């Protein structure tokens, strides 16, 4: 290989630079984790990724423009989008497209935080949901030994590319195509399970497949965003308990079951009410995580020029919260519930509790129930079902 990708010194300097960047952030790299980032290069997993140009995602290869800038972007502590609306950057038209990212390589410091929480030892049997580019599966192969890693993604286009690249690096993990919430090799169980796509609740099969004493690291996120990562240890009685990591994490949602986008009904213009609480409060991720705990499981949220719209498909309630040019924000609802009321109440409680940090919450998952708990310094216990 010629050019910048044939310059071993430059590539090594990039990996060292990335490890330093991660270390300067919130993660202190253990020597084993540093070893993973120094030994497993990122660029072979992302030969083409999308860069943002306004609203468009435009494919970017090393030969498009300045190769130094390309390599710097690959070894920056950023996520790299590789698929938009199911179109991989490697097959995208040069002018790119407008759409929603459907696969990416996670920001390395977030990868490091999650790998640190996963606490992988050599020989641990590991299951990764969301192969994506294969870069994290490469790090897992380095940490556990490639023959102990199974990784799954939902399309062959993704898994074939990832498998090829892992093999070219000398790693041969089991790369499966399927739904990571349900498709497992028969009877397989694992010491470690890591998901790199978010779920509103932990899929039942993940709890079942984790061995007693095993650890799972799972991004938990509902429609109000406020993405968090839960780290859970499986107990002998079959439950998994643990806490939320301090790191915020905006993972794309796990696509499982039939993908039917909810049909949001219109909110008719009818008399409404004023509120002191703007929907912008949901931009604060610590609060939106807390607010989500107070809302129905199937809640859908959208936002646009009309404001923030909340919809509960279970009873048909729709609530719009809009900031006004003059005066306080305005709430309009239709259906049995005003869905902004529980968020206003959650906000009052959040302030009364002195805005608790996400890492102060604990999580318990059993085969029948999943809950999040916060114990205030005065011993008052708050518990919500997921």
Name which of residues 158 to 177 contact ligand SAM (CB under 6 A).
158
Shortest distance, CB of residue 180 to ligand SAM, whole angstroms?
3
Compute the distance between CA of residue 239 and CA of residue 367 in angstroms, rounded to an integer: 7
Q: Judged by CB, which is closer to ligand SAM: 201, or 255?
A: 255
**Residue 107 near ligand SAM by CB under 6 A:** no
Between 77 and 364, CB nearer to ligand SAM: 77
Report the alpha-carbon distance of residue 267 to residue 24 in Å, rounded: 47
Cα R_g (the chain), whole angstroms: 22
Give the whole-angstrom CA distance, residue 155 versus residue 276.
46
Nearest residue (CB) to ligand SAM, 255 versus 382: 255
Show the tokens assigned to 7.
């310059």
Select from 33-41, 246-254, 286-294, 316-324 the region that touches ligand SAM (CB under 6 A): 246-254
- Is 234 an interacting residue with respect to ligand SAM (CB under 6 A)? no
The answer to the question of residue 247 lying near ligand SAM (CB under 6 A) is no
Residues 6 or more apart whose Cβ sits within 8 Å of residue 361? 243, 244, 372, 373, 374
| φ and ψ of 348, to 5 deg | -65, -45
Which of 134, 129, 126, 173 has its CA nearest to residue 152?
Answer: 129
Say if CB 215 and CB 194 are below 8 A apart.
no
Stretch that binds ligand SAM, among 100-108, 298-306, 328-336, 339-347 (CB under 6 A): 100-108
Question: Pick from 252, 281, 318, 339: which binds ligand SAM (CB under 6 A)?
Answer: 252
Q: Is 146 in the site for ligand SAM (CB under 6 A)?
A: no
- Nearest distance, CB of residue 256 and ligand SAM, angstroms: 4
What does DSSP assign to residue 280?
A: G
**Does position 179 bind ligand SAM by CB under 6 A?**
yes
Q: Considering only 58-66, 126-134, 300-308, 357-365, which stretch makes contact with ligand SAM by CB under 6 A? A: 126-134
- Is 180 a residue that touches ligand SAM (CB under 6 A)? yes
Beta bridge partners of 88: 83
Using CB under 6 A, which of 62, 126, 149, 197 touches ligand SAM?
197
Q: Smallest distance from the beta carbon of 128 to ligand SAM, in angstroms?
A: 6
Asked if residue 132 binds ligand SAM (CB under 6 A), the reply is yes
Which listed residue (124, 133, 141, 370) binds ligand SAM by CB under 6 A? 133
The reply to whether 113 sits near ligand SAM by the rule CB under 6 A is no
Which residues of the chain form beta strands (DSSP E)? 48-53, 56-61, 80-84, 87-88, 101-105, 126-129, 149-153, 174-177, 190-195, 210-222, 225-234, 240-244, 273-274, 300-304, 307-312, 317-322, 330-334, 362-365, 370-375, 381-385
Does 104 interact with ligand SAM (rule: CB under 6 A)? yes
282 binds ligand SAM (CB under 6 A): no
Q: Give the residue with the Cβ less far from ligand SAM, 70 or 135.
A: 135
Distance of CA 227 to the CA centre of its chain: 7
190-219: burial string, b at 16+ Cβ within 10 Å, e else: bbbbbbbbbbbebbeebbebbeeebbbbbb
Q: Which is nearer to ligand SAM, 139 or 224 (CB)?
A: 139
Using the rule CB under 6 A, which residue among 109, 124, 196, 332 binds ligand SAM?
Answer: 196
Does residue 105 belong to the site contacting ligand SAM (CB under 6 A)? yes
- Which positions lie near ligand SAM, rule CB under 6 A? 102-106, 129-130, 132-133, 135-136, 152-154, 158, 179-181, 196-197, 251-252, 254-256
């Amino acid at each position: 290989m010629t050019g910048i990708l044939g310059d071993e010194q430059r590539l090594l300097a990039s990996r060292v630079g990335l490890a330093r960047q991660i270390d300067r952030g919130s993660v202190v790299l253990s020597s084993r984790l540093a070893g993973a980032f120094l030994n497993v290069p990122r660029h072979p997993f992302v030969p083409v990724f999308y860069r943002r140009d306004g609203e468009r995602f435009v494919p970017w290869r090393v030969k498009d423009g300045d190769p130094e800038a390309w390599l710097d972007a690959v070894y920056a502590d950023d996520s790299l989008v590789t698929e938009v609306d199911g179109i991989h950057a490697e097959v995208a038209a040069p002018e790119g497209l407008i759409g929603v990212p459907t696969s990416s390589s996670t920001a390395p410091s977030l990868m490091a935080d999650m790998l640190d929480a996963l606490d992988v030892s050599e020989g641990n049997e590991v299951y990764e949901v969301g192969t994506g580019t294969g870069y994290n599966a490469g790090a897992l192969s380095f940490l556990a030994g490639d023959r102990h890693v199974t990784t799954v993604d939902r399309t062959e286009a993704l898994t074939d590319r990832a498998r090829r690249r892992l093999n070219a690096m000398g790693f041969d993990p089991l790369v499966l195509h399927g739904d990571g919430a349900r498709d497992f090799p028969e009877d397989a169980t694992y010491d470690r399970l890591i998901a790199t796509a978010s779920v509103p609740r932990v899929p039942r099969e993940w709890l079942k497949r984790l061995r007693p004493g095993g650890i799972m690291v799972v991004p938990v996120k509902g429609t109000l965003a406020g993405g968090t990562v839960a780290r859970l240890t499986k107990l002998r009685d079959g439950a998994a308990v643990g806490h939320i990591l301090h790191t915020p994490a905006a993972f794309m949602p796990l696509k499982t079951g039939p993908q039917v986008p909810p049909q949001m009904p219109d909110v008719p213009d009818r008399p409404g009410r004023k509120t002191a609480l703007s929907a912008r409060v949901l931009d604060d991720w610590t609060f939106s995580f807390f607010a989500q705990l107070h809302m129905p499981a199937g809640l859908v949220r959208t936002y646009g020029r009309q404001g923030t719209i909340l919809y509960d498909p279970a009873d048909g309630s729709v609530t719009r919260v809009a900031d006004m040019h003059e005066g306080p924000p305005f709430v309009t609802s239709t259906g049995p519930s005003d869905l902004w009321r529980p968020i206003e109440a959650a906000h009052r409680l959040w302030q009364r509790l002195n805005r608790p940090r996400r890492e102060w919450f604990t999580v318990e998952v059993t085969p029948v129930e999943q809950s999040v708990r916060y114990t205030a310094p005065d011993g008052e216990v708050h518990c919500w079902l997921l």
